[in-house]
Every structure is written in C-alpha cells, then in structure tokens.
Amino acid sequence: MQLLEGERELILSTVEEVLQNSSRNREDLIPSLQRVQSKLGYLPALAMEKLAEGLDIPAVDIYGIATFYNQFRLNPPGKYQVKVCMGTACYMKGGEITLESFERRMEIEEGETSPDRLYSLERVACVGCCTLAPVVVVNDDHIEGYVTPTRVDGIMLEFEEADQKEEETEKETEEETKKTAAEGGKNK
Ligand code: FES
C-alpha cells in the first residue's frame, strides 16, 4: 500500500516515540506493536522494519508475529470500514454472499483496503445480534441487519453519496475562505 503524503514522517516519529518508551527487549515487541497500531490505526511495513532495527530483532520475526495475531492489521483502515459477520447464524443466512457482494462492489478482497483508502473489508466473528443475521458492522458503530446483495448496493450508494457531499462541503468552505480573504484584502 502506497504511503500518503506526510505518512512516512508520521510513521518514523511514531516508532521513535514508541522505542523511546520501551526497554528495547524482545518482550517489548507485542506491546510496541500494539502502541504503534493504536497511534497509526495499522502496522505499516515501514513501522515493522524500524521496530526490527530498534529492538534488534529480524524483521521477518516481527512480520510473523503481526500476521499470527489477528488483533494486528497490516492494511490501513478505510474511510468506510465494513466488517461482515461470519459467525454461525450469519454464515447460515448468507454471510458469504454478503461478503462477496462487498468484494465485487469495492473491488478488493476481504482483509484488504482499496488503494484510495476509501474502503476496507473484513470478516469478523459473531458480533452478538444473531437475530438480525446476516449482519454487517459499518465503521465500528453502526449495525446493519438482514444484509442482502441488494442492501449491499444500497450501503455502497450511501457511502458514495456521503463522500460526494463531503467533497462538496469542502469545496464550498474553500471557496468561502478564498472569498473572505479576497474581501479582507480589498478592505485594507
Ligand atoms: S453470528 Fe452474526 S451476529 Fe451472531
């Protein structure tokens, strides 16, 4: 995944800060990975490399641990994060079809983030509302129940509309700021 503007610097300073607060022992590896992830939202390859150097551990070992524990994510969270429940009830009611529908619409596979970081897609274990199966969790705070492929289209449309609206608002604010600055200049 390509880094965004300024992200490299952010990763380097985050790892530096985490290393400064660690005893630099091998036992510190998991807590250090957790701290990096809580600050950056994921574990970029560059962060793992730098941690490997700082803790004097082969990078391959760090990568092994990060991929072994599913608390760690190697891809950045998308602006719109979708988690498809694959617990027994959801699976039985068509969770797999829901997941495939999202994969098709987002053009990514489960576990991935779209290159523009707009979408990320994951499968999760039971989220505790089996009566609504198949269930999808959007952005960690919104539960969608009875998600059919048609509803997947609806959810994707809502994302697209929300994103478009946000872009328009940003543009309007930008124009407003320019206008105010130009008027301020005239009044001097
Ligand atoms: S199995 Fe999906 S909410 Fe329980």
Q: What is the pLDDT of residue 149?
A: 96
- How many Å apart are CA 143 and CA 162, to the nearest integer? 17
pLDDT (tens digit per residue) in 139-175: 989 999 999 999 999 999 999 999 999 999 999 998 9
Identify whether the C-beta of residue 32 lies closer than 8 Å to the C-beta of residue 55.
yes
Nearest of 84, 79, 90 to residue 122 by alpha carbon: 84
3-state secondary structure of 118: coil
- The pTM of the full predicted model, rounded to 2 decimals, is 0.82
Closest ligand 1 atom to 87 CA: 1
Tell me which architecture the domain covering 80-176 has in CATH. Answer: 3-Layer(aba) Sandwich (3.40)
pLDDT (tens digit per residue) in 11-47: 999 999 999 998 888 888 999 999 999 999 999 999 9
Check whether 71 has a pLDDT greater than 70: yes
Ligand 1 centre from 95 Cα, in Å?
Answer: 9
- How many Å apart are CA 118 and CA 2, to the nearest integer? 13
Ligand 1 centre from 60 Cα, in Å?
Answer: 35
Q: Identify the residue whose C-alpha is closest to ligand 1 atom 3.
A: 130
